[in-house]
Amino acid sequence: MAKVELFVNGRAVTGEAEDRTLLVHFLRENLGLTGTHVGCDTSQCGACVVHVDGRAVKSCTMLAAQASGSTITTIEGLSASGELHPLQVAFRENHALQCGFCTPGMIMTSVDMIRRHPNGLDEATVRDQLEGNICRCTGYHNIVKAVLDASDKMGKGAVKAA
Amino acid sequence: MGVEGIGARVLRKEDRRFITGKGRYTDDMSVPGMKHAAFVRSPHAHAKITGIDVETAKKMPGVIGVLTGAELKADGIGNLICGWMIHSKDGTPMKMGAWSPLATDAVRYVGDAVVIVIADTKGQARDAAEAVDVSYEELPVVVKTAEALNEGAPQLHSEAPGNLIFDWDIGDEKATNDAFAGAAHVTKMDIVNGRLVPNAIEPRATLGVYDAGEDHYTCWTTSQNPHVARLVLSAFYNVAPENKLRVIAPDVGGGFGSKIFIYPEELICLWASKKTGVPVKWVADRTESFLADAHGRDHVTHAELAFDQDNKILGLKVQTIANLGAYMSLFSSSVPTYLYATLLSGQYDIPAIHANVKAVYTNTAPVDAYRGAGRPEASFVLERIMETAARELKVSPAELRRKNFIRTFPHQTPVIMNYDAGDFDATLDAGLKAADYEGFEKRREEAAKRGKLRGIGLSCYIEACGIAPSAAVGSLGAGVGLWESAEVRVNAIGTIEILTGSHSHGQGHETTFAQLATERFGVPIESVSIVHGDTDKVQMGMGTYGSRSGAVGMSAVVKALDKVEAKAKKIAAHLLEADEADIEIKDGDVRVAGTDKSLPWFQVALAAYTAHNLPSGMEPGLKEGAFYDPSNFTFPGGCHICEVEVDPETGVTEIIQFVAADDFGKIINPMIVEGQVHGGLAQGIGQALLEGTHYDDTGQLLTASFMDYTMPRAQNLPSFNIMTTETPCPSNPLGIKGCGEAGAIGSPPAVINAITDAIRNNNLTMPATPQTVWNAIQAAK
């Protein structure tokens, strides 16, 4: 058994887990944070994306023990104030979700994408950067719109045609 | 239309929980004492089971139970069944082989469940499953659709000699042959519609809880139709009587057909919960989903289309072999028959059609309905052969279609369907204009200068939704009626709950169904809640598939709203001392028309419950239920146009534009309809370009993960250019046709028509991967 100490969504948590426990399972089963989802076994679908020390990480690619000492943000902790994050708003306003299963991972990936592109995003970049997140419902059309919308509204402005 | 009523782009009420991580999916459920299941599955595609040794596994850490099919059978649990009877052309009933939820004597595909292991943790259950020793004697294997009927092919089921499940006909063979005899031109094609894996992003899961005190079962499950699940689990599989079995389908992460069917796992977990005395949860991993979810499509077809000298269609002949896999899944038999061949007339006036469908067993995963279910296969056959015929006849593909359009309604096709309404010119015109079809040759020339092969392809599809008139499908072999139920409960303060037998797993019912009540009574949408997915809350329903929730589910809501409105008006007329006929309900007020006399809506509701002053003899309360049984199918149709550029050096296809002009009849929420079309297009384009299911010759599934099976990703798809036209459906009160599957039905032929136009080689199978396309380019040189 491994001792796991994390700072999750602004709260210090400790727990014990089998050595082989993945971070996603620790979050879901030990902490009850079921907003982070498991959609595959091969780190392809991205439904499990959380932020580890501020960067988007597929929480199925990391052991819980390996994450020990890290600061984690999950979808539940994205809007700490109770007010929705601009990406959450953009996903709703652009109908960027249907069944909702991939949505937490999509949003967490997109938050990181916008952070990494302070000068704004264009459609091709968004499509390219969503490579690690699979959605079966939306055809991505409205997800791309939502990310661009949020990027705009977060004050960074879309890249103007050069 | 109000801002929240019919036709409004109302943002979804259900979104808040999903965007904040508060959705409640089956795997999120936890009950005290819950344990975890893993299944031992067959590693062989075909083998005799010669022994099952569970003793080592039983002694593993954390193990609570290791159960086999023999124990299941001893407890009287029944075999899995197909609920739609098809008769062969010689009158004999389909030949259904036995499907034991846990295999006892033989396994017939890789992934066939053999043993269930229950342990404290998921990891322990898997470890112990590894320790179960099943002895097999391998048998020869048949995998390919076209080989299942071959002389000497390995036999799967003794009940089905030659692997033939049924040999079914539709249409008039003699009339069709006669039509061909006078033809000026006949186009002939061999067409393969490959096998697909549905891949909802939420894997299937179930939690079975047996309560010994009440002798009662609860089944949480990833289902599109919890009531049908309860009915089948109860009536056919003998788990428990319906009043002792509650089925809950909470938030469900996509279905696309694959979550309609009753699979072995939920049945076994319920039984195992009683057997072991603990709640049992099972969640599929993705590879299990690939192996053991019902797959889709898998047809091999030969088609011939006859024209007269004026390019009018004289007749269509179709012969199809449909692969149903190793066992007959719940609705598998209906897909390649009544959901397929009845749509072979498409948008065209075809005087004579004859189709023959042979359904076969192979050592592969069971095949059943997947988004479109039969209708994509029909539109692929017809729209590929129409485009091909236009090329052979050297006429415009658009004009050849237009020349043959049906323009008078109702129109009786030679294959059962009676089209009630449509305007195929309107969707074709809209599509051609949006795609600038006329300007294409210039774009082709421009692309050629850049060394690219540019092509354009059309698809004018029709489908049948609003599934389905119960008596009609009953006469065709369905084991269930396909009506829908609804109950409208107005609470004492005027808020409303609508209970529906439809199930939302992404379609947005919590919003669109509420829009109906908002439209009717002018109440804010926040005051309307939708209740679904729980057999303890909703009495009965048939669930969501076949684009039926709008046309059938909402029609039931409308009927219940009619009854509530009528009673509310009676109460209001009594309170306002007016004639019932003069009462109108608008903007949250109940008024006497043409006067200033009115009551707020909530006061009418309150009056119904205080019952202090009701019309003489009226029962208290304001709650009404309704069942709606459709009188006809609905017929959405449209025109999809795809324009591609192919790089001849690499075979890589880029979609330059994709236009979809669809006629869905009346639309309740355009935002949600657009989302449905986007998703359908992604699945159709995925089939055309990316998704291929490959079994090797020994029956091993080579594409059993997202590393191997190419799911469409954002970078594979364009933004879509979609639009709608509207001819209301005359057979239901809202005029709705349905929109959930159209994208997946119309798009594959448009994509393949475009690529084959670009590379000038019509011999191209899906998925049109770069390798396939490059080979086709080389072959055409």
Distance, in Å, from the CA atom of B260 to the CA atom of B335, rounded to the nearest integer, reads 13
Q: Are residues B96 and B228 in the same domain?
A: yes
Q: Are residues B46 and B135 in the same domain?
A: yes
Provide the terminal-to-terminal Cα distance of chain B, rounded to the nearest Å: 58
DSSP code of residue B392: H
- For residue B453, give the nearest of B655, B643, B641, B647 by alpha carbon: B647
List where CATH 1.10.150.120 sits in chain A.
Answer: 86-156
pLDDT in tens, B708-737: 999 999 999 999 999 999 999 999 999 999
B486 forms beta bridges with B500, B626
- For chain A, say whether B678 makes contact (Cβ under 8 Å): yes
Distance, in Å, from the CA atom of B116 to the CA atom of B125, rounded to the nearest integer, reads 9
pLDDT score, position B736? 97
Q: Are residues B589 and B498 in the same domain?
A: yes
Domain spanning A2-77: CATH 3.10.20.30: yes
Tell me: pLDDT of A157 over 70. Answer: no
- Mean pLDDT along residues B392-409: 98
| Tokens linked to B170 | 């539709």
Using an 8 Å CB-CB cutoff, list chain B residues near A38.
27, 203, 283
Q: What phi and psi values does residue B593 have, to the nearest 5 degrees?
A: -55, 135
pLDDT score, position B2? 67
Inter-chain contact B675–A37, Cβ cutoff 8 Å?
A: no
Does residue B170 sit within a domain?
no
Tell me: pLDDT of A155 over 90. Answer: no
Inter-chain contact B254–A99, Cβ cutoff 8 Å?
A: yes
DSSP code of residue A26: I
Does residue B421 sit within a domain?
yes
Does residue B477 sit within a domain?
no
- Mean pLDDT along residues B315-322: 98
Of B602, B628, B654, which one is at a domain's C-terminal end?
B628
Q: Are residues B118 and B215 in the same domain?
A: yes
pLDDT score, position A3? 96
Distance, in Å, from the CA atom of B347 to the CA atom of B577, rounded to the nearest integer, reads 55
| Tokens linked to B96 | 């259904």
At the top level of CATH, which class does the domain A86-156 belong to?
A: mainly alpha
Task: Assess whether the previous peptide bond of B468 is cis (omega < 30° from 0).
Answer: yes
List where CATH 3.10.20.30 sits in chain A.
Answer: 2-77
Provide the terminal-to-terminal Cα distance of chain A, rounded to the nearest Å: 55
Counting beta carbons within 10 angstroms of the beta carbon of residue A82, is it exposed (0 to 12), middle (13 to 18) or buried (19 or more)?
A: exposed
CB-CB contact of B15 with A97 (8 Å): yes
Q: Which of B21, B202, B251 sits opposite A39 (nearest CB)?
A: B202
> Per-residue confidence at A81, pLDDT binned at 50, 70, 90?
confident
Inter-chain contact A34–B506, Cβ cutoff 8 Å?
A: no
Does residue B336 sit within a domain?
no
> Per-residue confidence at A162, pLDDT binned at 50, 70, 90?
very low
Using an 8 Å CB-CB cutoff, list chain B residues near A48.
none
Does residue B322 sit within a domain?
no
pLDDT in tens, B126-180: 999 999 999 999 999 999 999 999 999 999 999 999 999 999 999 999 999 999 9
Q: Are residues B453 and B547 in the same domain?
A: no
Q: Are residues B619 and B704 in the same domain?
A: no
Q: Which of A38, A40, A51 to mutate to test the interface with B (most CBs of B within 10 A)?
A: A40
Q: Are residues B617 and B646 in the same domain?
A: no
Q: Are residues B609 and B642 in the same domain?
A: no
Q: Can you give the C-alpha Rg of chain B in angstroms?
A: 27
CATH code of residue B206 = 3.90.1170.50
Q: Are residues B527 and B618 in the same domain?
A: yes
- For residue B654, give the nearest of B754, B771, B760, B766 by alpha carbon: B754
Which of 740-779 (B) contact A at CB < 8 A?
A: 743
Tell me: pLDDT of B667 over 90. Answer: yes
Which of 200-219 (B) contact A at CB < 8 A?
A: 200-203
Using an 8 Å CB-CB cutoff, list chain B residues near A110.
none
ipTM of the complex: 0.97
Of B574, B605, B628, which one is at a domain's C-terminal end?
B628
The helix or strand, by DSSP H or E, that contains position A57, with its residue range, turns out to be: strand A55-58
Q: Is the full-model pTM beyond 0.90?
A: yes
**Rounded percentage of chain B residues whose pLDDT exceeds 90:** 99
Inter-chain contact B706–A134, Cβ cutoff 8 Å?
A: yes
Tell me: pLDDT of B781 over 80. Answer: yes
Query: Which residue range(s) make up the domain with B229?
Result: 31-139+202-253+259-292
Tell me: pLDDT of B386 over 70. Answer: yes
Q: Which of B12, B34, B201 to mutate to test the interface with A (most CBs of A within 10 A)?
A: B201
Tell me: pLDDT of A159 over 70. Answer: no
Q: Are residues B455 and B590 in the same domain?
A: no
Which of 632-671 (B) contact A at CB < 8 A?
A: 671
- For chain A, say whether B706 makes contact (Cβ under 8 Å): yes
- For chain A, say whether B286 makes contact (Cβ under 8 Å): yes
pLDDT in tens, B114-124: 999 999 999 99
Structural domains in chain B (count): 3
CATH code of residue B766 = 3.30.365.10
> Per-residue confidence at A82, pLDDT binned at 50, 70, 90?
confident
- B603 SS3 class: helix
Distance, in Å, from the CA atom of B747 to the CA atom of B431, rounded to the nearest integer, reads 13
Q: Within B630-781, where are the H helices?
A: 670-689, 742-759, 770-780
Q: Which of A101, A113, A126 to mutate to test the interface with B (most CBs of B within 10 A)?
A: A101
Distance, in Å, from the CA atom of B295 to the CA atom of B367, rounded to the nearest integer, reads 5
- Mean pLDDT along residues B495-508: 97
pLDDT score, position B636? 98
Inter-chain contact B201–A36, Cβ cutoff 8 Å?
A: no
Q: Are residues B605 and B671 in the same domain?
A: no
Minimum CA–CA partner of B711 in chain A: A134
pLDDT in tens, B223-242: 999 999 999 999 999 999 99
The strand pair at B528-531 and B496-500 is best described as parallel
pLDDT score, position B3? 86
Which of 1-60 (B) contact A at CB < 8 A?
A: 11-12, 14-25, 27-28
Tell me: pLDDT of B243 over 50. Answer: yes
What's the number of CA atoms in the CB half-sphere (13 Å) around residue A75?
A: 35
Inter-chain contact B507–A98, Cβ cutoff 8 Å?
A: yes
- For residue B83, give the nearest of B294, B435, B330 by alpha carbon: B330
Inter-chain contact A97–B19, Cβ cutoff 8 Å?
A: yes
Inter-chain contact A131–B715, Cβ cutoff 8 Å?
A: yes
CB-CB contact of A69 with A136 (8 Å): no
Task: Assess whether the previous peptide bond of B469 is cis (omega < 30° from 0).
Answer: no
pLDDT in tens, B440-489: 999 999 999 999 999 999 999 999 999 989 999 999 999 999 999 999 99
Inter-chain contact B251–A100, Cβ cutoff 8 Å?
A: yes
Distance, in Å, from the CA atom of A93 to the CA atom of A70, rounded to the nearest integer, reads 33
Of B271, B292, B313, which one is at a domain's C-terminal end?
B292
Does residue B176 sit within a domain?
no
Tell me: pLDDT of A158 over 70. Answer: no
Q: What phi and psi values does residue A82 have, to the nearest 5 degrees?
A: 95, -15
Distance, in Å, from the CA atom of A66 to the CA atom of A57, rounded to the nearest integer, reads 13
